[in-house]
Amino acid sequence: MDSENNNGDLNPAGEMSAEQPQRPNDSGDDFQEQGVADPPRDKVGYKRPPMHTRFKPGQSGNPKGRPRGAGNLRTYVLKELKEKVGLKGTNRRISKGEALVKKTFAKALGGDARATDQVIKLLEKIGHLDVTDSGGEQIHSADDEQALEILKDQMRQQLASEQTANLGQEGATGPEEAQS
């Protein structure tokens, strides 16, 4: 007759054993309180850590981990953009995000090619430049057309002034260096 070990119901003689040996570090009281009849005392292995190393009910696996409400990069950037700053020469306060947009637009209107490129990309990203009707033609309001024309004129003027400056430098160095 097959006999089971001490965790089972039969002793080596095949009879029912009345007592089970107690281990000194594992009383098994937790399992009796939870309604589990036979705690898996000998079951240590894959996905079965020893009883003394298991998390107790309500215990966190990382008690010193990230605190609640801790931000990430996105929250810090958004918080910084919402912060208020004062405008020079006025008592008016605006958000840093608004100030950044105003400064970029001012640089673009001042002829800065990078700022102009950033403004155009921003307008495309928010969908302000790509508005089309059902026929595929672009629709711009009168204000949009006027702003685009101003930007185009300023870019033409900047390119013309850069070209004349380059021509002036070539003439000052002499025709020999200008040809090479």
**What pTM was computed for the model?**
0.39
Distance CA 169, CA 171 (A): 5
- Judge whether 27 lies within some domain: no
Tokens 């000998």: give the residue: 42
- Judge whether 83 lies within some domain: no
pLDDT in tens, the chain (180 residues): 444 444 555 566 666 555 555 555 545 555 555 555 555 566 889 988 888 888 888 877 888 888 888 888 999 999 999 999 998 888 999 999 999 999 999 999 999 999 999 998 888 888 877 555 555 566 667 788 888 888 888 888 888 888 888 777 766 555 554 454
- Judge whether 48 lies within some domain: no
Nearest to 150 by CA among 100, 102, 115, 116: 116
- Judge whether 19 lies within some domain: no
Q: CA angle, corner 70, sides to 65 and 74, nearest 5?
A: 130
- Judge whether 137 lies within some domain: yes
pLDDT of residue 123: 87
- Judge whether 139 lies within some domain: yes
- Judge whether 145 lies within some domain: yes
Q: Which domain holds residue 110?
A: 95-172
pLDDT of residue 124: 85
Nearest to 26 by CA among 50, 5, 7, 8: 50
pLDDT of residue 100: 92
Whether 105 contacts 119, CB under 8 Å = yes
Number of domains in the chain: 1
- Judge whether 128 lies within some domain: yes
Q: For residue 151, what are the CA distances in angstroms to 62, 143, 144, 154?
A: 56, 12, 11, 5
